[in-house]
């Protein structure tokens, strides 16, 4: 009887693992005897030469690496957050004292990096308070005097309290009280920010600010090790910093609802924590140097200097602009950037231009940097490196509510997760153009994968770690880099390493919520990756065009990579000059899945291919983890009348194909699978977990 129960349990477990018979993905996997359990890896410690000692790995990586199908709901949840929280309802829906921006910055940024805080509430406690009273409380918090007494008499100068009250008296009372409330909330956030680095000497914080090389440039092949990064990572208190960041986002969002245009306003005060500058709704020029808080009530303004740029010496720097067509200019470390602190720029309305060089427009290095632009008039973002949603050991966010926007940079951004960091670009909709300069002569970042003619982009949903196994052994995991666009007819243009691409224990992702989109890249673009990573691209509808002008692209995985391209609906075209379209080499899981529409496919190979390597079968090698692993190149098209090039036979509409019977792939647990089927009512259940 016990024997019968054991056998029955095994059979039932196998049926559950195999999944329902009408699931098209399970059917395709079953053609080679695979189930979802056979996808991905959880490498044991006895796999000799498999990279170990990978530090700064984010919490989601190992589980997604072991369960590749989970990347779909993981990314769709983020896409849903962008659509929900950037809608008018989301932006105006209050929950426990916070609105949609607080929830979105947490879900898209902080929660990808740190799971100890959930977005229940920022716990803002400050009440409306006259600005002069709030500033005096700031002085007391900083341990600074506001009255000066000597020889038993108050000094005739400076009369700080009297002068402050006189200046504040020129402001409308309601404006003063709203600003005072904002200042007190910022003071509380400052308390938590300083706690975050209480164990980190200032010299170390300055060292990570002044790294010899841009981390996006240094990391990939381990050009120059910076021990200060490891030192700060070992000592900082992350929870306190992310708590402070959430408070700042929520406090600014609350203030922007209360503030009203006031034309004749000008207030400047240098506090112990930095300058507070307030301007009315006229046409102003504002210097952001050493600023704690800038508030502009409207008008077409010009900003210069380190606006919203936090540093070790200026750990919080915030800017709130209510309206107007504004121009922001800076060099580096500005426009929503932070090193060991919190830097946030919130522009509520207008057609704005943001121009800077590097570490800007939503960049965080051991900090929280965010550029948030609301409104739907269309904005322009111009930068060179480490920008537009870029994180190294920290969180960098660029959030744009909508409109016809243009994003341009040279490299390392538009959703770039550098070492141990989270970089996300969220766009709520509109016909947008994303450009990561492909010309190496213009970017100065030539790629040896393209004869040094095409640029290393590291952009548009890319995550790159520091690969130290061939250098000094300091292996830092890549982070989470994502570009999330809620809809519109968008264009994505880039060089190499882009559009949902990972490298060295990083997760790169691109999600597009719908529209007729154009994806144009080169090597390692559009759901690709190399060396122990994850690259995913999900498009949720529209007639899309995927083009690669080179090789190793469009659902291409190399060396233990999970590469997944999912396109849900529309008449789509896919073209790559050489191998791709669900192509696996060196023990990877590469999958291209199109769920509907009349589609056109072109590659050098038949879609869904896994290249054999003799190391898969070499049991005499000094390292055998390639023998003990499994891999697959899978292509699945559901529905529609589809076309394939003649040289790709037996690939054809309504057919299935794979490895020939005499292939060495089967015995090596390496499989090529191609299936073009009519879907009917059948759908892939992405939410059903593997065992």
- What pLDDT digit, counting tens, does each position of 388-409 carry? 999 999 999 999 999 999 999 9
**pLDDT over 80 at 483, yes or no:** yes
- What pLDDT digit, counting tens, does each position of 189-207 carry? 999 999 999 999 999 999 9
- What pLDDT digit, counting tens, does each position of 92-150 carry? 999 888 999 999 999 999 999 999 999 999 999 999 999 999 999 999 999 999 998 88
End-to-end CA, the chain = 26
Written as six digits, the tokens of 369 are: 């940097």
Give the lowest-confidence range in 20-24, 310-314, 653-657. Answer: 20-24
User: Residue 564: CA atoms inside 13 Å, Cβ hemisphere, count?
Assistant: 27
Q: Residue 370 is inside which H or E element, if any?
A: strand 368-373
**pLDDT over 50 at 425, yes or no:** yes
Integer angstrom CA distances of residue 610 from 152, 507, 523, 650: 87, 22, 18, 15
Task: Identify the band that residue 690 occupies on the pLDDT scale cut at 50, 70 and 90.
Answer: low
Segments in 345-424 forming alpha helices (H): none
- What pLDDT digit, counting tens, does each position of 311-336 carry? 999 999 999 999 999 999 999 999 99
Other CB atoms closer than 10 Å to residue 512's CB: what's the count? 27
pLDDT, position 10: 39
More confident residue, 314 or 622: 314
- What pLDDT digit, counting tens, does each position of 276-296 carry? 999 999 999 999 999 999 999
Other CB atoms closer than 10 Å to residue 441's CB: what's the count? 10
Give the mean pLDDT of the chain: 94
Question: C-alpha angle 62/561/509, rounded to 5°?
Answer: 75
**pLDDT over 50 at 16, yes or no:** no
**pLDDT over 90 at 354, yes or no:** yes
Written as six digits, the tokens of 87 are: 């809608």
Other CB atoms closer than 10 Å to residue 37's CB: what's the count? 16
- Determine if residue 586 is left, alpha or beta; phi over 0 gives left, psi from -120 to 50 gives alpha, anything else beta: left
Other CB atoms closer than 10 Å to residue 466's CB: what's the count? 30
SS3 of the chain: helix, strand, coil, percent, to 5: 25, 30, 45
State the Cα–Cα distance between residues 682 and 674, nearest whole angstrom. 18
What's the average model confidence in pLDDT over 667-682? 91
Q: What is the tally of helices (H) and strands (E) in the chain?
A: 16, 47
> Please, which residues bridge with residue 574 across strands?
546, 601
Task: Identify the band that residue 21 occupies on the pLDDT scale cut at 50, 70 and 90.
Answer: low
pLDDT, position 8: 38
State the Cα–Cα distance between residues 451 and 622, nearest whole angstrom. 33
Written as six digits, the tokens of 686 are: 């992405």
Contacts of 645 (CB under 8 A, 6+ apart): 601, 602, 603
Chain centre to alpha carbon of residue 159: 48
Q: Contact, 293 vs 183, CB < 8 A? A: yes
Task: Identify the band that residue 155 occupies on the pLDDT scale cut at 50, 70 and 90.
Answer: confident
Q: Contact, 517 vs 542, CB < 8 A? A: yes
pLDDT, position 689: 79
What's the average model confidence in pLDDT over 534-547? 98
**pLDDT over 70 at 337, yes or no:** yes
State the Cα–Cα distance between residues 635 and 649, nearest whole angstrom. 14
What's the average model confidence in pLDDT over 496-516? 98
Backbone CA torsion sign across 196, 202, 204, 208: positive
Residue keyed to tokens 């769920």: 595
- What pLDDT digit, counting tens, does each position of 357-400 carry? 999 999 999 999 999 999 889 999 999 999 999 999 999 999 99
What's the average model confidence in pLDDT over 525-532? 98
State the Cα–Cα distance between residues 134 and 271, nearest whole angstrom. 11
Domain ranges of the chain: 23-74+407-691, 123-215+233-281+291-398
Q: What is the pTM of this model?
A: 0.95
């Amino acid at each position: 009887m016990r024997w019968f129960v054991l056998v029955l349990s095994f059979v039932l477990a196998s049926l559950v693992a195999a999944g329902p018979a009408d699931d098209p993905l399970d059917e395709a996997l079953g053609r080679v005897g695979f189930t979802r359990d056979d996808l991905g890896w959880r490498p044991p410690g006895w796999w000799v030469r498999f990279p170990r000692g990978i530090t700064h790995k984010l919490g989601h990586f190992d589980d997604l690496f072991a369960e590749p199908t989970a990347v779909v709901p993981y990314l769709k949840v983020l896409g849903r957050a962008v659509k929900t929280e950037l809608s008018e309802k989301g932006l105006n829906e209050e929950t426990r004292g916070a609105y949609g921006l607080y929830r979105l910055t947490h879900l898209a940024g902080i929660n990808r990096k740190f799971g100890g805080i959930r977005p229940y509430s920022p716990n803002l406690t400050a009440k409306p308070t006259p600005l002069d009273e709030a500033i005096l409380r700031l002085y007391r918090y900083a341990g600074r005097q506001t009255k000066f007494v000597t020889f038993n008499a108050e000094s005739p100068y400076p009369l700080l309290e009297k002068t402050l009250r006189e200046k504040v008296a020129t402001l409308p009372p309601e404006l003063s009280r709203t600003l005072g409330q904002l200042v007190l909330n910022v003071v509380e956030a400052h308390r938590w920010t300083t706690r975050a680095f209480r164990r980190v000497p200032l010299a170390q914080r300055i060292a990570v600010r002044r790294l010899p090389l841009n981390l996006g440039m240094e990391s990939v092949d381990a050009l120059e090790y910076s021990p200060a990064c490891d030192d700060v990572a070992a000592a900082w208190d992350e929870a306190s910093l992310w708590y402070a960041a959430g408070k700042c986002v929520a406090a600014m969002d609350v203030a922007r609802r209360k503030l009203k245009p006031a034309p004749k306003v000008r207030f400047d005060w240098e506090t112990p924590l930095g300058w507070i500058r307030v301007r009315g709704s006229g046409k102003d020029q504002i210097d952001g140097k050493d600023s704690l808080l800038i508030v502009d009530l409207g008008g077409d303004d010009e900003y210069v200097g380190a606006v919203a740029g936090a540093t070790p010496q200026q750990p919080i720097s915030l800017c709130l602009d209510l309206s107007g067509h504004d121009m922001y200019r800076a060099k580096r470390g500005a426009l929503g950037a932070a090193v060991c602190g919190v830097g946030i720029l919130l522009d509520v309305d207008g057609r704005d231009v943001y121009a800077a060089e590097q570490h800007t427009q939503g960049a965080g290095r051991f900090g929280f940097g965010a550029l948030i632009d609301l409104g739907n008039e269309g904005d322009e973002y111009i930068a060179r490196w480490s920008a537009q949603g870029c994180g190294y050991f920290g969180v960098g966010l660029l959030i744009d509510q909508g409109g016809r926007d243009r994003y341009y940079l040279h490299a390392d951004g538009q959703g770039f997760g550098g070492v141990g960091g989270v970089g996300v670009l969220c766009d709520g909709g509109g016909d947008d153009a994303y450009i990561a300069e492909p010309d190496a002569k213009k970017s100065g970042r030539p790629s040896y994968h393209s004869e040094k003619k095409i640029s290393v982009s590291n952009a548009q949903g890319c995550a790159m770690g520091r690969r130290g196994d061939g250098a000094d052994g300091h292996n830092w995991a890549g982070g989470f880099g994502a570009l999330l666009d809620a809809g519109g007819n968008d264009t994505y243009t880039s060089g190499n390493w882009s559009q949902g691409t990972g490298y060295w224990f990083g997760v790169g992702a691109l999600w597009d919520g719908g529209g007729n989109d154009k994806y144009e890249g080169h090597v390692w673009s559009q759901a690709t990756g190399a060396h122990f990573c994850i690259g995913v691209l999900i498009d949720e509808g529209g007639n899309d065009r995927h083009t690669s002008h080179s090789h190793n692209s469009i659902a291409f995985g190399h060396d233990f990579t999970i590469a997944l391209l999912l396109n849900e609906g529309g008449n789509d075209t896919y073209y790559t000059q050489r191998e791709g379209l669900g192509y696996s080499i060196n023990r990877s899981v590469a999958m291209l899945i199109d769920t509907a529409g009349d589609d056109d496919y072109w590659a050098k190979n038949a879609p869904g291919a896994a290249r054999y390597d003799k190391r898969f079968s070499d049991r005499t090698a000094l390292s055998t983890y390639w023998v003990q692993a499994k891999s697959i190149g899978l292509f699945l098209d559901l529905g529609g009348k589809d076309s394939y090039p003649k040289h790709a036979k037996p690939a054809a509409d309504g057919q299935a194909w794979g490895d020939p019977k005499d292939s060495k792939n089967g015995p090596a647990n390496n499989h090529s699978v191609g299936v073009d089927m009519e879907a009917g009512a059948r759908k892939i259940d992405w939410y059903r977990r593997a065992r």
